[in-house]
Amino acid sequence: MRHHPSVRSLSSASFVLGIAAAFAARADSGVGVDTWRANKLDPAAGATALGCDERGTSWLVEGQHRSPTGNLYACPPPSPQPDEHGDWQGYGVLQIGALGTSGDDGNALFNRYVDWDSGLILGLLDYTWERPADGTYANVRASHISDDDEYYQATFGRAGSYKIQAFLRDMPNVLSNNAKPIWNGVGTNRLTLPSSLVAGASTAADVAAVSAATPERRLSVRREKQGVGVSMYLTPQWTWYANVTDEERKGARPYGGPFFFNYPFADDGGVLETTKPIDDATINLNGGLRYAGTTWRMDLGYSGSFYRDRYTRYTYETPFALYPVVPDAVSAPLTTGQMATEPDNDYHNLKAAFTRKLPLNGELSLTASAGRMSQNDALIAPIDCQGVFGIGLNGSLELGPQNPFLYDCSKWNTTASLSRPTSDMRIDTTLVDARIVLQPTSDWTLRGGVRLNREDYRNTYLAYNPLTGQYGYVSENGAQGSVVPGESGIFDPLAGASAITRVSSLPLDMQTEEASVGADWKIGAHDTLGATYTFNRYAPTNRERGNADDNSVKVTWVNRSLDWLTFRANATVLKQTGDRYNDDPYGFTYSIGLPGFVPPSGGVPAHTVDALRKYDLASRDERKINLMATVQPRDDMTISASVRGDWNDYDAELGRQAYNTLGMTLQWEWQPSTRTNASLYYGYDRSGLRLANVNELNASGSDPSLGGSTYPELGRWWADDRQRNHNAGATLAHDIGRVRVDANWNMLYSRGTTAYTYASSLAPAYPDPGVTGAGGGAFPSMIYRVNTLNLGITVPLMERISLRLFDIYERGHISDWHYLGFDATRVFDHRVYTDGGPESYDANLIGLLVTIRL
């Protein structure tokens, strides 16, 4: 399954070019976001290219400064040495060079948010012009690792007057490097089977052969973003700003493709992993006015976001035939499934915030905002089929009373079968927030605040077909109703008056109220105590509870009684309660609420077991503690340690019962001079999640009670999910004469296991073989272990030119049981998988770069 190792030659490039300072590849998160023009080669956005200023942080005090909590700040870069050009002065840096990759360099994990490519690169161009006479400046900044991984930015402005900025940025995201889609048309909205397969009439062996012969390919999404922004001082107090960005995404990703279950029905159904086309654009706007006076501050702003997807849906062909579960019947020959893409969306938000200074060294802030999110896409037809769908109970596919579960495609494959042509959905949001802070004495700080937040759904959709007078959403592309009679997802007040199916959308309005009061008290020169009481009320509509209340108390203690130690501790106690728990608030979205509904003879089946508590609204006791110590054994050294725990106990016989986390970190940093620094880091965290639930042993039973006829005790099961994460790192950088050497090692080890027990073999979907009574076991551990070693050496060649040679070696070991057996085949009966899953890898990147100070 591994990608064929390849050695991409560096040699031709390396002798042509010089080098450029390359910087250690670090964690993925945050790389390439809007306000931080950077990439994986230079995640610090050029800051680390500049090195450390030997003169230190400030002329006032020698050495490195520390944060209020005692941590050493990073060293400042040396001041630029500008060249004079008349009224202007300019300075900057140019890094050019070449990269070479080898080993499993196509692996998706190795290429996450980066497109490593052997060849010449522009590591960084960053040049600034300044005119000291009036503070006018201009800056260009660019990087090009590959055609899919690059950015360009230009900024122009005058200090204290205005600033104009424009940028272009391309960022890749490799989602799979080993995809084997059986369809033609990957990346488009129409997936068709190759000529060797017949839609709706191929065997699993036929499909397996096509899958095996399909070469592995990469599925990725490329983001292209461009934007401009302006900000300007109108007066020293008033500023206005406006920004607009446009982001376009193109590519394909693994996605679903349902044609009903296959596990319980061998040689039937279809569980297809298709590829979804990504082709969309998002325009974001924001603008406003800000005022910053000595007494008042104000922020009046608008933000808008407009999402447009090229496609409203994509279709795919299924290779498999369907068979009915009842004898002497026939299933409709379905061949095409469809999947809706994300709807176009318009979002507007207006916000006004006012802050005023108060007596007693205080401040009052008031914020109000109102937003509207609306979607009005043209809706897609319920099904993409020709002829009929459903089951011919009499052995034929002829429509009529003799086949009550057979449906005419022409009455469902058109938008005329919808109750309205567009979605016409809207959510309005409202926020009001008030905060006050007073400091009546230097020892006391008092805080208080209230907040109201609402989300109001302004419309619902009723799935009514005006062509047939029937209700409901066709399930599983018509496949479910073509396998099991009466499970088409359609309610017919005449021919299927007892069918229970979803018929409308579910509005989920929410009102959140919050109030808090708190105080901080300096009880001495070295100790500060704090306490905060917070009340939250969540009032959702159409949920199991009308309201859920959180009451929490948080206490904090900061101690600096020893010069070399800063100790911080906080603890929180939270209790969530609520009004009566209704286990089925969703009846109105089902056909049981429609006129003409006739309850089945055994009664309306229970929606779910009444003992189940959904975790967000369940009553809960939470305890949290966080201890942090920062030790300064020497001026040039910091040791920090932290321990944190969070224990949640849910009042739930079924559902989430407990979720506990415990973590610790230990870090050592040493900066004896600007020429040397070193650090060590170790972090460990563990979590445990305990779930309980029950299998329904009588699917049509109407008794919702645990232990009753629908949910007997024999159907109970329990699961314990345990996660253990270790991460460690070490860095060393040292100047040997004029040469700087640096080394960096990072390790992440993550291990997750899920163990389960059950009351009988009736409880799990797939009991362990041979077990008839209570049992249990565990899934294989999920393991993710990645080691990264960076080595680099930087040599100054001339006053303005330096050379850097670096190597990044990364080794990943992935063990994910979900993909076991994929080495042999991706087709298991009627289940067809496209993505081969994450793979272990062993890859290397070597770079040679020249840095030229301009």
Partner 1 sequence: MIAHRHPRSALLAMLLVIAWLPVGASDLLDLRGIEAIHGDVDAGKTKAAVCMGCHGPVGVSPVPTFPNLAGQHAEYLYWQLMELKREARPESPMTAQVAHLDDAAMRDLAVYFSSLPAAIPTQGTTSSVRGSQLYGEGDASAGIPPCQGCHGRNAEGHPLAQGDAHWRAYPVLRGQHAAYLAQRLKDFQNGKHTLSSNDRIMTPIAQTLDDASITALAAWLESPTR
Q: How far is CA 575 from CA 285, 411, 512, 620, 655, in A?
A: 40, 53, 16, 6, 18
> Shortest Cβ distance from residue 549 to partner 1 (Å)?
48
Give the nearer residue to partner 1 in terms of CB position, either 431 or 741.
741
> Shortest Cβ distance from residue 143 to partner 1 (Å)?
25
> Shortest Cβ distance from residue 100 to partner 1 (Å)?
8
Give the nearer residue to partner 1 in terms of CB position, either 4 or 580.
4
Could you tell me which stretch among 172-180, 281-289, 328-336, 737-745 binds partner 1 (CB under 8 A)? 737-745
Any contact of residue 739 with partner 1 (CB under 8 A)? Answer: yes
Binding mask 421-460 for partner 1 (x = CB under 8 A): ----------------------------------------
Rounded to an integer, what distance in angstroms lies between the CA atom of residue 196 and that of residue 192?
A: 11
Give the nearer residue to partner 1 in terms of CB position, either 688 or 796.
796
Number of residues that bind partner 1 (CB under 8 A): 25
Give the nearer residue to partner 1 in terms of CB position, either 136 or 725.
136
Among 1, 736, 778, 824, binds partner 1 (CB under 8 A): 736
Among 3, 10, 324, 338, binds partner 1 (CB under 8 A): 10
Any contact of residue 766 with partner 1 (CB under 8 A)? Answer: no
Give the nearer residue to partner 1 in terms of CB position, either 654 or 846.
846
> Shortest Cβ distance from residue 737 to partner 1 (Å)?
5
Of the candidates 467, 541, 464, the residue with the CA atom closest to the CA atom of residue 503: 464
> Shortest Cβ distance from residue 838 to partner 1 (Å)?
25
Rounded to an integer, what distance in angstroms lies between the CA atom of residue 845 and that of residue 571?
A: 45
> Shortest Cβ distance from residue 803 to partner 1 (Å)?
7
> Shortest Cβ distance from residue 292 to partner 1 (Å)?
14
Contacts (CB under 8 A) with partner 1, residues 185-214: none
Residue type, 285: L
Could you tell me which stretch among 306-314, 333-341, 513-521, 730-738 binds partner 1 (CB under 8 A)? 730-738
> Shortest Cβ distance from residue 435 to partner 1 (Å)?
28
Among 310, 575, 738, 818, binds partner 1 (CB under 8 A): 738
Among 101, 102, 239, 275, binds partner 1 (CB under 8 A): 102
Q: Which two tokens stand for residue 153?
A: 């930015």
> Shortest Cβ distance from residue 637 to partner 1 (Å)?
17
> Shortest Cβ distance from residue 66 to partner 1 (Å)?
15
Any contact of residue 805 with partner 1 (CB under 8 A)? Answer: yes
Among 2, 63, 119, 509, binds partner 1 (CB under 8 A): 63
Are residues 484 and 495 in contact, defined by beta-carbon separation less than 8 angstroms? no
Q: Write the CB contacts of 651 (distance below 8 Å, at least 6 apart in sequence).
A: 613, 618, 619, 620, 621
Any contact of residue 120 with partner 1 (CB under 8 A)? Answer: no
Are residues 178 and 816 in contact, defined by beta-carbon separation less than 8 angstroms? no
Give the nearer residue to partner 1 in terms of CB position, either 9 or 361.
9
Rounded to an integer, what distance in angstroms lies between the CA atom of residue 722 and that of residue 631?
A: 32
Give the nearer residue to partner 1 in terms of CB position, either 13 or 606.
13
Pairing status of strand 190-191 against strand 313-317: parallel
> Shortest Cβ distance from residue 62 to partner 1 (Å)?
3
Contacts (CB under 8 A) with partner 1, residues 627-656: none
| Cα radius of gyration (the chain) | 32
Binding mask 33-62 for partner 1 (x = CB under 8 A): ---------------------xxx--xxxx
Contacts (CB under 8 A) with partner 1, residues 813-852: 846
Written in H, E and C, the secondary structure of 320-376 is CCCCCCCCCCEECCCCEEEEECCCCEEEEEEEEEEEEEECCCEEEEEEEEEEEEEEC
Contacts (CB under 8 A) with partner 1, residues 139-158: none
Of the candidates 308, 283, 480, 443, the residue with the CA atom closest to the CA atom of residue 378: 308
Give the nearer residue to partner 1 in terms of CB position, either 501 or 802.
802
**What's the chain's length in residues?**
854
- Classify 820 in phi/psi space as left (phi over 0), alpha (psi -120 to 50) or beta: beta
Give the nearer residue to partner 1 in terms of CB position, either 282 or 744.
744
DSSP for 137-160 reads EEEEEEEEEETTEEEEEEEEEETT
Written in H, E and C, the secondary structure of 522-556 is ECCCCEEEEEEEEEEEEEECCCCCCCEEEEEEEEE
φ, ψ (nearest 5 deg) of residue 715? -90, 5
> Shortest Cβ distance from residue 59 to partner 1 (Å)?
5
Q: Which two tokens stand for residue 844?
A: 């290397």
Any contact of residue 16 with partner 1 (CB under 8 A)? Answer: no
Contacts (CB under 8 A) with partner 1, residues 783-802: 793, 795
Sign of the torsion formed by the C-alpha atoms of 587, 593, 597 and 599: positive
- Classify 828 in phi/psi space as left (phi over 0), alpha (psi -120 to 50) or beta: beta
Give the nearer residue to partner 1 in terms of CB position, either 63 or 663.
63
Rounded to an integer, what distance in angstroms lies between the CA atom of residue 333 and that of residue 321?
A: 7
Sign of the torsion formed by the C-alpha atoms of 494, 500, 506 and 511: positive
> Shortest Cβ distance from residue 269 to partner 1 (Å)?
48
Any contact of residue 737 with partner 1 (CB under 8 A)? Answer: yes
> Shortest Cβ distance from residue 640 to partner 1 (Å)?
25
Q: Write the CB contacts of 109 (distance below 8 Å, at least 6 apart in sequence).
A: 786, 812, 814, 838, 839, 841
Question: Which positions lie near partner 1, rule CB under 8 A?
Answer: 7, 9-11, 14, 54-56, 59-63, 100, 102, 736-739, 741, 793, 795, 803, 805, 846
